[in-house]
């Protein structure tokens, strides 16, 4: 998949969180959303372009055009509307064998027209910004953003004795991965309870419930669950590179292991969902 990265800054944590919640909303899976969207890292004010607190956000889509459209629409509807925010390109692009060459696409160049002719352009070094007049001052947004190839849909499954043990393990896993650069977990709180398989008995559906991992279907389907497993949670990881996904997978698995966790595995889709295959034993041994 392709991804783009932006940096959003704001006057206070409250308004920055409001911007993030709105921008990342309905961004869990490209099965039904325009993009997979999530926080990569929260930033200190000393590390942002304008000296205010900030956050890095990653946006993943099936194509360059899909990511561009999601960035434009979500920035215009969710960030330009939010008090005090500014948006910068987060162009710390990784150069890997699979990432390809980053391509710049318009962002502020599109949104500037909201200024109705009163917008102003500002060139700082080789970076162009747009100042769009709004009712609390100006909305500052970078002219363009880099988009390149990444790796989305890495996953592992936590098979737990009960819901309490599963939730605790999942929360530990997210706590270990959310501090890492180059990845994000797009589902609510980083956790998926409705894991899916490819296809369905209903032709119109691209995906359907992972019945082999549903405890209530044990006895009705060929189950992959041990008898003492009554709760399964999935952690899905999108990353800027294969290495970033592998690093996060290992950190998440190590953190998830504990009391009440019977086993940890992964969704196996028979190679139908991409060329990147993550072998868990290799990941855990660092190979």
Question: Rounded to whole angstroms, how far apart are CA atoms 236 and 192?
Answer: 7
Q: Are residues 249 and 274 in the same domain?
A: yes
What string of pLDDT tens digits covers the 287 residues of the chain? 999 999 999 999 999 999 999 999 999 999 899 999 999 999 999 999 999 999 999 999 999 999 999 999 999 999 999 999 999 999 865 555 566 678 999 999 999 999 999 999 999 999 999 999 999 999 999 999 999 999 999 999 999 999 999 999 999 999 999 999 999 999 999 999 999 998 899 999 989 999 999 999 999 999 999 999 999 999 999 999 999 999 999 999 999 999 999 999 988 776 666 788 888 888 988 76
Q: What is the pTM of this model?
A: 0.94
Furthest C-alpha separation in the chain:
66
Q: Are residues 140 and 181 in the same domain?
A: no
| pLDDT of the residue at 47 | 96
Q: Are residues 164 and 259 in the same domain?
A: yes
Question: Rounded to whole angstroms, how far apart are CA atoms 58 and 188?
Answer: 15
Q: Are residues 268 and 157 in the same domain?
A: yes
Q: Are residues 102 and 237 in the same domain?
A: no
Q: Are residues 14 and 103 in the same domain?
A: yes
Q: Are residues 224 and 165 in the same domain?
A: yes
Q: Are residues 25 and 54 in the same domain?
A: yes
Confirm if 142 and 89 have CB atoms less than 8 A apart: yes
Q: Are residues 8 and 137 in the same domain?
A: yes
Q: Are residues 47 and 170 in the same domain?
A: no
Domain boundary among 96, 130, 149: 149
Q: What is the CATH number of the domain that holds 131?
A: 3.30.70.520
Q: Are residues 130 and 159 in the same domain?
A: no
In Å, how far are 96, 197, 232, 247 from 216, measured between CA atoms? Answer: 43, 17, 11, 33
Domain membership of residue 111 as a residue range: 2-149
Sign of the CA dihedral running 75, 78, 80, 85: negative
Domain count, the chain: 2
Confirm if 128 and 107 have CB atoms less than 8 A apart: no
Domain boundary among 123, 149, 175: 149
| pLDDT of the residue at 78 | 98
| pLDDT of the residue at 287 | 62
| pLDDT of the residue at 96 | 56
| pLDDT of the residue at 163 | 98
Candidates 243, 94, 90, 33; CA nearest to 154 is: 243
Q: Are residues 83 and 106 in the same domain?
A: yes
Produce one character per residue of 212-232: b if its CB has 16 or more CB atoms within 10 Å, e if not: bbbeeebeeeebbbeeebbbb
| pLDDT of the residue at 270 | 67
């Amino acid at each position: 998949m392709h991804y783009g990265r932006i940096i959003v800054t704001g006057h206070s944590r409250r308004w920055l969180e409001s911007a993030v919640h709105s921008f990342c909303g309905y961004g869990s899976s490209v099965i039904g959303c325009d993009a997979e969207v999530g926080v990569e890292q929260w930033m200190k004010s000393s590390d942002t372009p304008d000296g205010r607190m900030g956050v890095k956000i990653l946006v993943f889509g099936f194509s360059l055009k899909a990511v561009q459209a999601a960035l434009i629409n979500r920035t215009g509807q969710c960030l330009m509307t939010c008090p005090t925010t500014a948006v910068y390109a987060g162009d710390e692009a990784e150069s890997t064998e699979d990432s390809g060459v980053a391509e710049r696409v318009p962002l502020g160049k599109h949104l500037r027209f909201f200024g109705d002719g009163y917008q102003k352009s500002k060139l700082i070094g080789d970076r162009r910004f747009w100042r769009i007049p709004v009712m609390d001052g100006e909305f500052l947004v970078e002219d363009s953003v880099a988009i390149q190839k990444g790796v989305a849909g890495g996953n592992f499954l936590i098979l737990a004795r009960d819901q309490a043990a599963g939730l605790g393990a999942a929360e530990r896993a997210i706590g270990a991965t959310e501090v890492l650069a180059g990845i994000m977990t797009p589902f609510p709180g980083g956790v998926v309870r409705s894991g899916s398989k490819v296809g369905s008995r209903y032709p119109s559906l691209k995906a359907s419930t992972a019945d082999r991992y549903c405890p209530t279907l044990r006895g009705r389907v060929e189950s992959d669950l041990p008898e003492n497993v009554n709760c399964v949670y999935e952690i899905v990881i999108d990353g800027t590179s294969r290495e970033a996904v592998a690093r996060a997978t290992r950190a998440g698995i190590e953190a998830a292991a504990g009391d009440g966790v019977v086993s940890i595995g992964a969704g196996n889709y028979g190679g139908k969902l991409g060329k990147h295959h993550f072998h868990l034993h290799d990941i855990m041994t660092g190979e």
